Amino acid sequence: MKCAMPIVGDDRVWTALSPADEQDVMKQVYEWFDRWQPTGKVADGGAELQPGTRQRQCAPARMARR
Please check whether residue 25 lies inside any domain of the structure: yes
Distance between CA 3 and CA 44 in Å, rounded?
10
Is 43 within the bounds of a domain? no
Cα four-point dihedral sign 13, 16, 18, 19? positive
Within a domain: 22: yes
36 φ/ψ angles, rounded to the nearest 5 degrees: -95, -25
Number of domains comprising the chain: 1
| pLDDT score of 34 | 87
Q: Does 23 map to a domain? A: yes
Across 6-10, 43-47, 60-64, the highest mean pLDDT is recorded for 6-10
| pLDDT tens-digit series, residues 12-59 | 888 899 999 999 988 998 898 888 888 877 766 566 666 666 656 555
Instruction: Give the pLDDT score at 17.
Output: 93
Residue 59: inside a domain? no
Q: Is residue 18 assigned to a domain?
A: yes
Dist CA 59 CA 40 (whole Å): 33
Range of the domain at 15: 10-37
